[in-house]
Amino acid sequence: MSERILIIDFGSQVTQLIARRVRESGVYSEVHPFNSVSVETIKAFDPKGIILSGGPASLTNVDTPRAPDGLFDMGLPVLGICYGQMAMAEALGGKVVSSDHREFGRAFVDIKEDCELFHGVWDVGSREQVWMSHGDRIDAPPPGFRTVATSEGAPFATIADDERRFYGLMYHPEVVHTPHGAKLLENFTHRVCGCAGDWTMAGFKEQEIAKVRAQVGDGKVICGLSGGVDSSVVAVLLHEAIGEQLQCVFVDTGFMRKGEAEEVVNMFREHYNIPLVHRDASELFINKLEGEPDPEKKRKIIGATFIDVFEEEAVKIGGADFLAQGTLYPDVIESVSFTGGPSVTIKSHHNVGGLPERMNMDLVEPLRELFKDEVRKLGRELGLPENFVGRHPFPGPGLAIRLPGGVTREKLEILRNADAVYLDAIRNAGLYDAIWQAFAVLLPVQTVGVMGDARTYDYVCALRAVTSTDGMTADFYHFDMEFLAGVSNRIINEVKGINRVTYDITSKPPGTIEWE
Ligand code: XMP
């Protein structure tokens, strides 16, 4: 088993970033909610060190989260960040108070003493930029700790107990606004915890192949291909692990982009020699959806139809013992809820959920521990072509959720053509890789235009392009006006049915990436 770091989550918005940074330092890490961790589970996980995350609560209330009992007696190194630092300080006999000097955003720390965390990056006497976000602060550090950095609002901005290998930071090293934060975390994992930093994608691949073989035995696995990166990486990995025990099924909903279905089928059949059932169900999907304008109902119809078709195909090939899915790490992390209530459903994402119970199959999810960019790295490791691995994400319900107002064959065709022109222009301008996702939306609105000497009365097309690291938040992409003017021109000239183009300048939040 690879060396690992356990991150205990107190509910900070940026806990996942700690996991990313630690992995970037070559050490495997997992995030677990504070209320699911005990000395026993920690022993079973066998980490080289523990990181306590930040969190929104206040330690000055008695019923807010605390570190697990016995954690500080385990002999493991601990790094507390913000709330985590205060939880550590309080547990070890320090004092936490609410402060009238809140620090939020960019701040500066003065480096007072040497510290293992600062090795090779911060020198005594320097002033360094960090990112703070706290109301409470430590009033007295616990016995055994020295103060190695201070800031205006946090006199104990960094504390260290070298003997027990306990360290506390009031600021967030995981965010990019602490420019040297990644190095501080690497110093913790490598120098304090003694990790070698040898967690690599090649190693992960071998480990997962062995795991899949052990899980599946001589059983049969069915894998639903969507044309996206995640399910393709799963399919290629499984093919390498279990060869002919894998059966891939590609259900073409008819909501794919131009040329996409052919591309996927060719790649798997010809390039990889992976057997693939290709079911063209586009008529069925369009018929079921025709006339339905409600976004949630559309999503539900597509999800249910998908499962029906998939099941039919699965039965035809004699069923399977396992269903393989491209579930990623952000989908499986339980977020800590302080209200205890369920979170609101913004939109129902479509996947093959529901099928395993119906068909009595177990799940195989080899990507459950990876972030999106790590999946791309694994794809490269498996030899998937660069232009495939770098593809923008594409939602399961496809173009159907980019047609507000309802799907018709005519609108689907117009949208598919506009989308193809838009992506072609983005590729030609060399912008594809700088953008997380770009697509066209066809609005259920017709406007008057003039082309040549004639009046037109055609649809409006909205263009969307965003940058993001994980799809959870996003900024609209700042194209230059020349590019937008050019692409608008091309769409109106090349796509019959559109006479007006707009650009969506909404970020997420308050918008979402897709329009439905
Ligand atoms: P939103 O629109 O919620 O999208 O901001 C966030 C990311 O998720 C993708 N998305 C989906 N992916 N099935 C998927 O596999 C879906 O039903 C689905 N809906 C949205 C969206 O394209 C973006 O990348």
Question: Could you report the per-residue pLDDT of 456-474, keeping only the tens digit for each?
Answer: 999 999 999 999 977 878 9
Ligand 1 centroid from CA 349, angstroms: 7
The residues facing 81 across adjacent strands are 169
Pairing of strands 158-161, 166-169: antiparallel
Question: What is the whole-number distance in angstroms between the Cα of residue 53 and the centre of ligand 1?
Answer: 27
| Of 3, 103, 174, 260, catalytic | 174
The reported pLDDT for the residue numbered 390 is 92
The arrangement of strands across the sheet holding 95-111 comes to: 28-33, 4-9, 49-52, 78-81, 166-169, 158-161, 146-150, 95-111, 127-140
The structure tokens 């107190």 sit at 10
Amino acid at 11: G
Task: Cis check for the bond before 395: say yes or no (omega within 30 of 0).
Answer: no
Lowest-confidence pick of 80-89, 301-310, 324-333: 324-333
Q: Give the pLDDT of residue 360.
A: 86
Catalytic pick from 82, 193, 195, 223? 82
Number of H helices, E strands in the chain: 15, 18
- Pull the structure tokens for residue 25: 């330092």
- What proportion of the chain, given as a percentage, has pLDDT over 70? 96
Question: How far is the C-alpha of 380 from the C-alpha of 403, rounded, in Å?
Answer: 34
Tokens of 360: 């009595």
The pLDDT confidence band at residue 210, using thresholds 50, 70 and 90, is very high
Q: In the numeric block, which tokens belong to residue 3?
A: 């060396």
Report pLDDT digits (tens) over 120-131: 999 999 999 999
Atom of ligand 1 nearest to the CA of 508: 5
Q: How far is the CA of 397 from the centre of ligand 1 (A)?
A: 9
Cα 237 to averaged position of ligand 1 atoms, centre (Å): 24
394 C-alpha vs ligand 1 centroid, how far in Å? 7
- Sheet hosting strand 276-280, strand order edge to edge: 276-280, 246-252, 221-225, 322-324, 362-364
pLDDT at residue 339, rounded to an integer: 46
The pLDDT of residue 69 is above 90? yes
Specify the higher pLDDT residue, 246 or 104: 246
Across the chain, mean pLDDT equals: 92
Nearest Cα residue to atom 3 of ligand 1: 512
* C-alpha span between 335 and 33 (Å, rounded): 7
Ligand 1 atom at shortest distance from the alpha carbon of 515: 2
Question: What proportion of the chain, given as a percentage, has pLDDT over 90?
Answer: 76
| Average pLDDT for 79-102 | 92
Average pLDDT (284-296) is 95
The closest-lying atom of ligand 1 relative to the alpha carbon of residue 512 is 5
Q: Of 134, 172, 190, 392, which one is the catalytic site residue?
A: 172
Span 434-449, average pLDDT: 98
Taking only the tens place, the pLDDT of each residue in 235-282 is 999 999 999 999 999 999 999 999 999 988 998 987 788 989 999 999
Residues 154 and 508: their CA atoms lie apart, in Å, by 32
**Which residues sit with their C-beta closer than 6 Å to ligand 1?**
347, 349-350, 393, 395-397, 437, 471, 508, 512-514
Nearest to 9 by CA among 42, 26, 34: 34
Strand partners, 103: 134
Query: Per residue in 407-425, pLDDT tens?
Result: 999 999 999 999 999 999 9
pLDDT at residue 107 tops 80: yes
pLDDT at 269: 86
Q: Which atom of ligand 1 is nearest to the CA of 349?
A: 17
The pLDDT of residue 352 is 64
Query: Is 461 tagged catalytic?
Result: no
pLDDT in tens, 311-369: 999 899 999 999 999 988 777 665 555 544 445 666 676 666 677 788 889 999 999 88
Residue 108 burial class via C-beta count within 10 angstroms: exposed 0-12, middle 13-18, buried 19 and up: middle
- Concerning whether 82 is annotated as a catalytic residue, the answer is yes
Residue-by-residue DSSP string for 223-282: EEE-SSHHHHHHHHHHHHHHGGGEEEEEEE-S-SPTTHHHHHHHIIIIIS---EEEEE-H
Mutation pick for ligand 1 pocket among 349, 436, 467 (CB with most ligand atoms within 8 Å): 349
Quick check: 129 and 103 in contact, CB under 8 A?
no
CA pair distance 402, 458, nearest whole angstrom? 17
pLDDT score recorded for residue 355: 77
